[in-house]
Amino acid sequence: MRPVMEVASDMGLDPEAVIPQGRFKAKVQLDAVRQGRPRGKLVLVTGMTPTRAGEGKTTTTVGLTQAMGHLGHQVIATLREPSLGPIFGIKGGGTGTGKATVEPQDEINIHFTGDAHAVGSAHNLLAALTDNAAQRGTVPGLTPEGVTWRRVTDVEDRALRTIVTGLGGPNNAPVRETGFDIVTASEVMAILALSAGLADLRERLSRTVVGLSGDGRPVTADDVGAVGSMMSLLRYAIQPNLVQTAEGQPVLIHTGPFGNIAHGCSSVVADRLALGYADYVITEAGFGADLGFEKFMHIKARSSSLEPSAVVLVATVRAVKMHGGVRLRDLDTPNEEAVERGMSNVDHLVRMVRSFGLPIVVAINRFPSDTPGEIAAVRARAEAAGARAAVESRVVVEGGEGGVDLAKAVVEAASGDAPKVSYMYPLEASIQDKVLALAQRV
């Protein structure tokens, strides 16, 4: 690994803005974000509808970044923080595979730079202050029954999902039925991911609803007086974290929002920071393309002017075959018919991306068991559906070199003027119209 200060320096960051966290991680101060028209182009990596066969979205994102570097482009990847599986010994889930990884893996997977802890503390401080306010009656109309804000934990703990708090007498009150969610599902995490800066973060936290008063009026974090303390707890968590690929390209890993309310992507500030220093910023959408791509476009891109210049859809022959009806244990057996059947999922996703007006490249993440016939079938169908190209990616085995073809196709797709994005519904549409539009197109 290269020292993180060297990675920062090559990337063009003012060393004053880079705060080392160990030798290989650093926080980047928000004043390093460049204002005005971004220098770089955003490439969004998304995946097929997930199956148990896996598809390798993060791995392809990292490998494409390495390949771009190989071609001499100034490139930065922006990824979300992995969630907590690693604590129980599952390695590498969120940091790539084989020769396409982000480093230092074990530090990224456990604690990292403490952002998730900060989110948890801020979330739970708000819970404590809200319960206090409800118990003491300091917010007019707010009673314990009206509180909706739950707590979060960074450990998967089934016994905390539904609990009763406040037992042991009035000093410990209020007695309430409530529970803990996992910290990645915290609304504070979602807010952190979308905030443009400290002022925006404070504004969004202030509006966070923690309960309803007796007459149905929302009670906010501001009403219970929690915002100042939450800001103290989050002031460093809003700074993007700088690490590197296994081949030394800069990677910003920042925020890991999950759950229903979240878009599942890395942060807006990380993308903006990256776009000021690189020609290409490779980022990854959460979930599968049907859900995650749409959330990226409508929740993140639209509100933050972070529209992609090209989209990469990651597919594997194995996942295509699984969509074609093959069982997990039979995936190693060549089966072109199943590929043909399963490609309907890729077809659909390619068309959906194109309906936004965006160019799309299909990355075929190569597995040893794939046959040339199967690969060819995927490529043919993908291109027939409207993909600019469908290209094999061998980054797991070969690292950046194995992604050169893919990188070239992506550069080609992203060339020319920025695409004019066609959203599914106008921003001011009613909820009903939005849902209708989504149902028809996704």
Q: Do residues 388 and 353 touch, judged by C-beta distance below 8 A?
A: no
Tokens 């190989």 -> residue: 70
Rule CB under 8 A: say whether 153 interacts with a second copy: yes
Rule CB under 8 A: say whether 31 interacts with a second copy: no
Whichever of 179 and 259 has its CB closer to a second copy, that residue is 179
Rule CB under 8 A: say whether 3 interacts with a second copy: no
Shortest CB 139 distance to a second copy, Å: 14
Whichever of 127 and 219 has its CB closer to a second copy, that residue is 127
Rule CB under 8 A: say whether 327 interacts with a second copy: no
DSSP calls for 383-429: HHTT-SEEEEE-HHHHGGGGGHHHHHHHHHHH-SSPP----SS-TT-
Q: Which of 65, 101, 105, 135 binds a second copy (CB under 8 A)?
A: 135
Whichever of 156 and 332 has its CB closer to a second copy, that residue is 156
Residue 69, SS3 per DSSP: helix
Q: Which of 52, 111, 207, 441 binds a second copy (CB under 8 A)?
A: 111
Rule CB under 8 A: say whether 20 interacts with a second copy: yes
Cα gap 333→351, rounded to integer Å: 29
Site string for a second copy, 227-246 (x = CB under 8 A): -xx--xx--x----------
Judged on CB neighbours under 10 Å (0-12, 13-18, 19+), 89 is: exposed
Q: Which of 34, 39, 117, 348 binds a second copy (CB under 8 A)?
A: 117
Whichever of 143 and 206 has its CB closer to a second copy, that residue is 143
Q: Which of 131, 290, 294, 398 binds a second copy (CB under 8 A)?
A: 131
Residue 308, SS3 per DSSP: coil
Whichever of 88 and 372 has its CB closer to a second copy, that residue is 88
Q: Which of 166, 197, 218, 419 binds a second copy (CB under 8 A)?
A: 166
Cα gap 231→205, rounded to integer Å: 9
Rule CB under 8 A: say whether 19 interacts with a second copy: yes
Strand partners, 156: none
Whichever of 176 and 302 has its CB closer to a second copy, that residue is 176
Q: Do residues 275 and 37 touch, judged by C-beta distance below 8 A?
A: no
Rule CB under 8 A: say whether 198 interacts with a second copy: no
Shortest CB 316 distance to a second copy, Å: 30
Cα gap 41→39, rounded to integer Å: 7
Whichever of 147 and 364 has its CB closer to a second copy, that residue is 147
Shortest CB 231 distance to a second copy, Å: 11
Binding window for a second copy (CB under 8 A); candidates: 48-56, 97-105, 120-128, 190-198: 120-128
**CB atoms closer than 10 angstroms to residue 149:** 22
C-alpha torsion angle, residues 324, 327, 331, 336 (rounded to 10): -30
Q: Which of 8, 11, 21, 343 binds a second copy (CB under 8 A)?
A: 21
Nearby residues of 363 by Cβ (< 8 Å), 6 or more positions away: 45, 60, 64, 312, 313, 314, 315, 390, 391, 393, 406
Whichever of 4 and 43 has its CB closer to a second copy, that residue is 4
Residue 67, SS3 per DSSP: helix
Q: DSSP label at 161?
A: S
Rule CB under 8 A: say whether 161 interacts with a second copy: yes
Q: According to CB under 8 A, which residues from 69 to 108 bind a second copy?
A: 87-89
Whichever of 160 and 436 has its CB closer to a second copy, that residue is 160
Rule CB under 8 A: say whether 143 interacts with a second copy: yes
Rule CB under 8 A: say whether 29 interacts with a second copy: no
Closest CA to 214 of 139, 280, 155: 139
Closest CA to 326 of 366, 369, 363, 382: 369
Judged on CB neighbours under 10 Å (0-12, 13-18, 19+), 277 is: buried
Site string for a second copy, 167-186 (x = CB under 8 A): xxxxxxxxxxx-x-------
**Per-residue tokens: 345:** 């999922």
Cα gap 69→101, rounded to integer Å: 14
Shortest CB 294 distance to a second copy, Å: 31
Whichever of 168 and 372 has its CB closer to a second copy, that residue is 168
Which residues in this chain contact a second copy in the complex, by CB under 8 A?
19-23, 27, 87-89, 110-111, 114, 117-118, 121, 124-125, 127-128, 131-132, 135, 137, 143-145, 151, 153-177, 179, 214, 228-229, 232-233, 236
